[in-house]
Structure 1
Amino acid sequence: MRRPAVLAVGALLALAACSSGSGSEPDAGREIGVTVSAEPDVEPTASAGASGTAPRVVGTIATGLDAPWGLAFLPGGDAVLTERDTASVKVVAAGTGEVETVGTVGEAAPQGEGGLLGVAVSPSYDQDATLYFYVSSATDNRIVTATLRDGRLGPTTPILTGIPLGQIHDGGRLAFGPDGMLYASTGETGQPDLAQDPDSLAGKILRITPTGEPAPGNPSGTAVFSLGHRNVQGLAFDGDQLWASEFGASTSDELNRIDAGANYGWPAFEGTGGTADGFVDPQATWDTDSASPSGLAYADGALWMAALKGNRLWKIPVTSSSDGSGADQQAGTPEEYLVGDYGRLRTVVPAPDGTLWVTTSNRDGRGRPGPDDDRILQVSPTG
């Protein structure tokens, strides 16, 4: 169900967010939260927000998953899914929702918040059948590729290694941009100063070529595209504009509009207030009970953000410049839906049919799973 939003947008307000910021406690990654995820007898309904019709869960695609993390669609309509703790790669069939395990990523060493995390599909998948994975190995976080042919995952090939590894704050989201480059989010592994270290890949958003080299035009000539991040777990493109959802520490979870070379302030600033020091303020902030943001998607003129501890789906309308050029996108007032109905929500992805696929994350050690968890929910963004 929907409740009135009490959040700040841009620099208007910064409410209290993520719990421990010390990086030394088991819940310092602040994904933790109490969940109640039993299937409702009747599908929850919600009143419309200011931006229009309320989204609605119209079905369950798959059940019985184990801490699903990454989700991406193949050209034919099937979806590729990763499970963080089993290191399994699964394919979810279009139409039927049948789930088949096609392989595992052997170099994944699940621990803490790490494991087999994000997945992205090659823009030229029809020719190269290549998938990209963000993997926590025994020694580092890394990006690897593997082919998917005849229903089987091939061996992995590392294309970028040496991303710092931690029990917490490992980032992990992958997304190809409209420029054909691969964007990856990393965390600062509980060591805040790494976010401001230009020589470290931690606490950054990276931009690389499909073969793992620094992408042409990156501000510093390295793989780093933006810096000053604590733990980004959501990436989404609205046209050419990149957005990111980010865990805060003790005051503010964030939605950031990402621009090349920009510094988003962590650990000097959390939430708003850093512009005088040359940092970029978030477009929206949340408190700890209503967010802990992970996955992010853009569809139907809005960003859709999955909340872990918040146990809800956020809709954030996006507006562009008045001249219709699409430039200078701004986040509008956030609206909350599915509050407490399905427990922890991890990933949200636009499906080819115009719906959203939203995964629960109640079996990740920080939730209270129901008998069908974890699940992929099918959500109509227009009700």
Structure 2
Amino acid sequence: MNGRSRRAVSVLGIAVAGIAVALTGCTSPASTLQEEPVTLASGLQSPWSVVVLDDGGALISQRDDGTVLERTASGELRTAGTVPGVVSGGEAGLNGLAVREIDGVRWLYAYHATGDDNRVVRMPLTGDHGALELDADAVEDVVTGIPRAANHDGGRIAFGPDGMLYIGTGDAGQRERARDRDYLGGKILRVTPTGDPAPGNPFGTRVYSLGHRNVQGLAWDESGTLWASEFGQDTWDELNRIEPGGDYGWPDHEGRAGAADAIDPVAVWKPADASPSGIAMVDGTLFIAALRGERVWTFDPSRPDEEPWEAAFTEEYGRVRDVAAGPEGGLWLLTSNTDGRGQPREGDDRLVQPAFPEG
């Protein structure tokens, strides 16, 4: 075991020790630590995003068919509905999900592609847990006109601690416009729940940060700092600490350039080791899903000058598309192996709680 892997086991062991204390007496399979991984849902088709619900269930987006699945707290997998207007192709389709209750109405927010653009919509999420339904007849546009292409479509959305909606977009192949404040591609957008530019945005528009190639993950640490994972091109993938109005340099800079006109990433990887996707903060540790790398990287935001280290479940689950903080402080992984890129792994795509190393 190399030094980085030993560090991974150490950090994960600390996290698991804390989780185990919280889970004493808990018998739910989704939150019980054990030696073997627990499959929470299987038979998924091109899953892209998982949102954990307050009852211990989850919603999962399927990119290619626009379906939103509910994994109930009891373990059932059912269809909650289909987001209307989804036109999939390449990396575009139904991507990120977020859930927010506003004035007594529970809304499902979805980032998806149409034939012309990427957009964020919302619709009421009705019914009780275990029987949730999308009210597709009441869909509302939140942000439209996000550029769409076969690749570099972004797609991650999340509500921040400030109650605003953050949207990660890709440059949609128009790399020269990623630093253009008037172009919605290659950005992190920050909007109100109805899609207006959020108060306090640096340019008075929806744009919060710029100079991104393809934002894939959004998460906040305990201090309220926003972190974002990003696909690089051929040399470096990135983990960035996001500052309001920050310019992250793409396409003029990739990785740590030390340039005066851009903010350097805090961490970088070779694409073969990462291709980072969704990220999640669990018990003070940032977990970063990796597609090509077929692993999950971990990062301690309180020690940003140290490199990330590899988590213990390297290559156990194949391509990892998303990670989420599960109930009671656990970690959930969403795999992405059956999306047409190579041969599906045995067991198909699934939502799983991984087996942690002993602390």
Q: Same fold (TM over 0.5)?
A: yes
Q: List aligned pairs for 1:36-75, cutoff 5 A.
A: 48-51=8-11, 53=13, 58-75=37-54
Percent of residue pairs identical: 48
- Report 1 or 2 for greater relative contact order, CA contacts < 8 Å, sequence distance ≥ 6: 1
Residues 287-313 of structure 1, C-alpha deviations (whole Å, 9 max, x = no match): 122100001011122110000000001
Q: List aligned pairs for 1:152-301, cutoff 5 A.
A: 152-155=133-136, 156-239=139-222, 240-276=224-260, 278-301=261-284
Measure the CA separation in 1 of the matches of 2:182 and 2:357.
44
Do the aligned partners of residues 350 and 71 (structure 1) sit closer, same or farther apart at CA in structure 2, a change above 3 Å counting?
A: same
Other structure's SS at 1:289 match: helix
Measure the CA separation in 2 of the matches of 1:352 and 1:340.
24
Q: CA deviation at 1:49?
A: 3.6
Other structure's SS at 1:63 match: strand
After TM superposition, the score normalised by the length of structure 2 is 0.87
Residues 136-160 of structure 1, C-alpha deviations (whole Å, 9 max, x = no match): 1111000000111123211221111
Other structure's SS at 1:193 match: helix
Q: Which residue of the partner structure matches residue 101 of structure 1?
A: 79
Residues 32-53 of structure 1, C-alpha deviations (whole Å, 9 max, x = no match): xxxxxxxxxxxxxx88545352
Q: Which residue of the partner structure matches residue 144 of structure 1?
A: 121
Other structure's SS at 1:250 match: coil
**1:152 corresponds to which letter in structure 2?**
E
Residues 57-105 of structure 1, C-alpha deviations (whole Å, 9 max, x = no match): 63111111001111112232221110001110111111x3211101111
**1:134 corresponds to which letter in structure 2?**
Y
Q: Is the 8 A contact 2:12 2:356 kept in 1?
A: no
Q: Which residue of the partner structure matches residue 28 of structure 2?
A: none
**2:321 corresponds to which letter in structure 1?**
R
Measure the CA separation in 1 of the matches of 2:67 and 2:93.
10
Q: Is the 8 A contact 2:8 2:309 kept in 1?
A: no
Q: Is the 8 A contact 2:38 2:355 kept in 1?
A: no
Q: CA deviation at 1:275?
A: 3.3
State whether structure 2 residue 310 is matched by structure 1 residue 336: yes
**2:262 corresponds to which letter in structure 1?**
F
Q: Is the 8 A contact 1:75 1:126 kept in 2?
A: no
Do the aligned partners of residues 179 and 138 (structure 1) sit closer, same or farther apart at CA in structure 2, a change above 3 Å counting?
A: same
Do the aligned partners of residues 128 and 310 (structure 1) sit closer, same or farther apart at CA in structure 2, a change above 3 Å counting?
A: same
**1:333 corresponds to which letter in structure 2?**
E
Q: Which runs of 5+ in 2 are unaligned?
A: 17-34
**1:348 corresponds to which letter in structure 2?**
V
After TM superposition, the score normalised by the length of structure 1 is 0.82
Q: Is the 8 A contact 1:57 1:377 kept in 2?
A: no
Q: Is the 8 A contact 2:49 2:334 kept in 1?
A: no
Q: CA deviation at 1:4?
A: 4.8
Q: Which residue of the partner structure matches residue 355 of structure 1?
A: 330
State whether structure 2 residue 66 is matched by structure 1 residue 87: yes
Count of residues in Structure 1 that have an aligned counterpart in Structure 2: 331
Residues 210-233 of structure 1, C-alpha deviations (whole Å, 9 max, x = no match): 000000000000000000000011
Q: Is the 8 A contact 1:227 1:263 kept in 2?
A: yes
Q: Which residue of the partner structure matches residue 321 of structure 2?
A: 346
Q: Which residue of the partner structure matches residue 112 of structure 1?
A: 90
